[in-house]
Amino acid sequence: MEQNIDDIHQNLLKFGCCNVCASRHLTKPSAVDVNKLIAASSQDHEESKRLKNNPCIACLGLFQNPQKDEIINEIISYLKSANYDSDTFNIAFNLPMCTIIRSHSISLYVSKVRVSVNPTIPTVYVCLKDAWKLMAEDAIVKSTGKHFSVHSPLLITVSFHYEYDKEECDQLNTLVKLSNKNLQDILSQMNNKDFESQYGDLPSIPMSTISFKNISSRHDSVYIAGRYNKWSRTLSQTPWIVDQERRLESSVEEIILEPIKNYTLVDSFRFSSSGREDIDVRMLGKGRPFTIELVNPKKTKFSYETFREIENDINKNSQVTVKHLQSVLKGDLKELKLGEEFKIKVYQAFCYVKGELLDLNKLNNCTPFDIVQNTPIRVLHRRANMARKRTIHSLSVSPIEVNVKNGCLFFNVILSTQAGTYIKEFVHGDFGRTTPCLRTILQNNTVDILALDVLNIELDWPPPVNY
């Protein structure tokens, strides 16, 4: 058997394969020996042992020195300068589509020969990408201190270019414009005679060598959660931009994200929260739960002390404070959305009425009850016009003494409601679009709201941090 394999190996070299590609096309993936591949590469490096000086007909020169070592050095240099704190890495290759066609052509040749020579010769082979990773892994690990892992959150993508890739793919006109993944599937299902009639028995000698194009990287997203308080009545939750024009200088999101951005060196963020308050509404009490998705972060390791430092940095701003910052898993984010319409929120509304203040016990003794709210006029420009049923779970009302003689009486309302209730509209009715409302219950059309605060969001997530 070994003699038969050696004969085929020599034939592949004569056809124009490098030693590495000749070896990998005669090796099962389960039986691959990286030392043999490295030894084969060394043979290619010795000019006297090479049968041909052309770029390999299978890998287009990817395994041939100095190309191989130059690519390894590019990856090492990139990993060292990219500042990722991940202890592991994985590598992906964007190779010209014709390398898939060339490997398929060679595998067909080996398959035909094995039938007449030795049926035990493997029909599957070590693919180009896997062989390269095996050969390069040791050098990269030694130079960077990072270990290779197929499960690593850090993916390094190396892209290559071949000048005549399109021309070769056009030889198989049924495969033009297909992705690499689809191409592999199509080739495996294509009739071998049809393939050979369009492409030929074996790949031609390449007219140029494959060339390195660029390196890019991507780290899996990392998620941070916490709670924030908003003390300002002139601050939006997210950047307020209308017609590409900024209306406010900052936002809750930006105040929180800036210190985190400085630490994590991320490409971008995705900020989410359990609801949102209006610009003129404060978020008091335990704060509003929020999460931040860090997209492609360089720094991903957070200690207890690091989170406290970030909190302190954020809390230097008098408008927003943050607490309970912590790392969470992506699967934990469902807690933020679970029961989004049914969790209870507690508010405090500072209200007034002109003239005589009617019996407030009407409010204290009327809960729970349901209301129907049509989309408020103030948000009709961005939300669908529809009726929503919401529950008022409790109301507690008390008069407020104000040393102002203006014909108005003031009172405070503490109410717990189903999430999604528009509180301002529940007070004044929004021209009859919310029923019932405080105006209809108190039978006074002058009832209105002066200020609103969120006191609590009954969501026990994320878990509190012990300070």
359 counts as catalytic = no
At residue 333, the 3 state secondary structure works out as helix
CA distances from residue 358 to 305, 393, 410, 444 in whole angstroms, order as listed: 54, 22, 11, 8
Q: Is 453 helix (H, G, I), strand (E, B) or coil?
A: strand
Going 94 to 95 to 101 to 105, the CA torsion angle's sign is negative
Give the helix/strand (H/E) hosting 144: helix 128-144
Of residues 445, 270, 423, 291, the one with CA closest to residue 349:
423
3-class SS at 307?
helix
What gap in Å lies between CA 9 and CA 5, rounded to an integer? 6
Give the span between the Cα atoms of 145 and 89, in whole angstroms.
10
Per the CB < 8 A criterion, the answer to whether 318 and 336 are in contact is: no
Helix (H) or strand (E) holding 67: helix 67-82
CA dist., res. 243 & res. 300, Å (int)? 36
Taking the alpha carbons of 5, 11, 15, 16 in that order, is the dihedral positive or negative? positive
Annotated catalytic residue within 69, 85, 220, 278: 278
Which own/partner contact pairs does 206-209 have at CB distance under 8 Å and 24+ positions apart? 206/54, 206/55, 206/56, 206/57, 206/60, 206/61, 206/162, 206/164, 207/163, 207/164, 208/55, 208/162, 208/163, 208/164, 209/55, 209/60, 209/61, 209/64, 209/67
DSSP conformational letter for 50: -
Distance between CA atoms of residues 370 and 426, nearest Å: 11
Residues noted as catalytic: 278
